[in-house]
Each structure stands twice: as structure tokens, then as C-alpha cells.
Amino acid sequence: MHEFAVSSALKYGHKGTDTLEYIGLTLKNGCFERSKLYHFAKNDFEVHEGWRKEIFERWLKRICENYEAKICDFSEAGTSDAPAYRMILQFRNFFSMETAEKLISEEFPDVPCEIRDRCIRCMRALKEGLGLKESPLMQVGIELDSDMNFKSFKYYLCVEWTELPNDKLAEAMNGSADALGVCRDTERLDRLIRDICTCWYRPTFIGINDGTEETEAKLYFISEIFGRALKTKPAEQTERISEVLNLDKGLAEELMTAWEQAHLYSQGIAVTFGEPSVLRLYLRELQEAYFR
């Protein structure tokens, strides 16, 4: 794993094209399963060519024109025989529920109606559960198959602006889980939130991948390490999170090697609703300026 991560950092990171956002690692039962690269658009050329241009023109351009949105990232996953293409928009501000519901209902006519309806029910339930004044919608995107046909609708809902303490989050998210038809598993999620937060992470948003075959929801955490602490603290954080998540010893060692060789650390973590065996790590590359 670390060889792929380090080579990807060299090719797409600060010493390469400088378009690397994250290296995503999917884990199952604490063991490495697969990886995915996330890129951000460094310039217009990065977006307006090939499959990226087709997705943007057909699905997302009108949203950027009608709402304050910009491309957040794009990625290619799957295999060479069956790739999947994904592009996500980031909104500048949060919307009222009326505006958010209008956006979902009207700007994605090619997304199946039942998926759009689930999204709206989920937003409403999360807004109520967290006691928010506005819609929690912060990002939205699309995933297409190799023939550029719809594969899944992706949206991201903020949880960090609530006044609820972390130990109340799992229960507060039950309504959104019910709206999506995914397992709530409150006790497990509550335990994971508490454990992961002891490793200098905080919960930030829920990411939903809603397709024609399955619906997946994940709670994302972001590292709270910043400033001068980034020179040394990520190594300790990696060791602690490996222990908390019960990662395979070999994987934990490879994560440390990726940190030592390329300054890659797990800036983000995602836990899957109703899937205790599945976790995701998002490795971020630090610039060499941090280490001078």
C-alpha cells in the first residue's frame, strides 16, 4: 500500500502535477482492501477535457451558473474494464431548506425520483435532529459508469455546526438513517465517535452515495492537528488511530512508512452506517515547508 501512496504523492502531489487532494484507502476488518485517488482541478484545462468535460457540461454546469458552486474534486475508480467517474461540487454558503429542496428536485432531472426524494427526506431529518436553522447541504455530485450513464447520486451534509455534543450525535442522526433506509446501529456509531475523537479528530459531515442498487452513508471525521504540531503529531495520531480502529499490524506499519517517506497522514476518516467492518482513511500530503 505505502508504495502506491508514495508513488502517487510523487506523481500528483507538490513535486508532481500538484493536483492530489487525497489518497483514499478502503479497509475491511482492519485490513487494506483497495485505494482511490482524489484530484482537485488546478485549472480549467483539468476539468474541460475528456470525461470530466462531459460530466460537467451535462450534469453540473447549470448548477454552477444558478447557485454559488465550484468544482470541489473529481476521481476515477473501479477497474480498467469497468471504471466509474465522479465529480463533486462545493457550495459557497448553506441554503434554506426551500432552496436546497428546489435544487435537488429541479437541477437533477436525470436522477431517479426516488433517490431525489430520499435526499430531501434525509436533509429534513438531519436538520431536525441536529437542530439546524438551515439545510445541512454542503456538497453535491454525480457518479457515472464507463458509458457515462447514471450510477449514483452523491451528497454531503454538514453535522459540525450543531450545538449538540458529540455524545448525542449518533442518536441525532437516526432520523436521517431511517430516511435513507440504512441501518442506524446507534450504539456502535456512538462508541466509534467517542473513540475516534480521542485521537484528535472531530465529526464533520455525512456523505451519502445513493445509487440504483444500494445506498451507502458514511460519517466523516477530520483531523484537528494544525500548525507546528503537523511536524510531529501525525505520527502519534497514526499510532493511536491504528489501535482504536484495530488495524492490521502490517497496515499500521505501512501507514507509518507513508508518513516517513512522503509526509502522508490520515487527515480524514469515514465510518459506514450499518457496516462495522468497513472503514476509510483519506491520506493527505503535507508540503515540505512544514518541515523546514
The alpha carbon of residue 235 and the mean position of all alpha carbons in its chain are separated, in whole angstroms, by: 22
Reduced to 3 states (helix: H, G, I; strand: E, B; else coil), residue 83 is strand
Of 151, 51, 150, 155, which Cα lies nearest the Cα of 103? 155
Residue 127 to residue 254: CA distance in whole angstroms: 39
Digitized pLDDT (tens) for each residue of the chain, 292 residues in all: 889 999 999 999 999 988 899 999 999 999 999 999 998 876 655 677 889 999 999 999 999 999 999 998 888 887 777 889 999 999 999 999 999 999 999 999 999 999 999 999 999 999 999 999 999 999 999 999 999 999 999 999 999 999 999 999 999 999 999 999 999 899 999 999 999 999 999 999 999 999 988 999 999 999 999 998 999 999 999 999 999 999 999 999 999 999 999 999 999 999 999 888 999 999 999 987 777 6
pLDDT value at residue 156: 98
Residue 99, phi-psi category: left (phi > 0), alpha (psi -120 to 50), beta (remainder): alpha
Q: Cell numbers of 238, please?
A: 497514526
Residue where the block lists cell 450543531: 162
Tell me the pairing of strands 201-211 and 150-158. antiparallel
Domain ranges within the chain, ordered by starting residue = 31-243+268-275
pLDDT value at residue 113: 96
Q: What pTM did the predictor assign?
A: 0.94
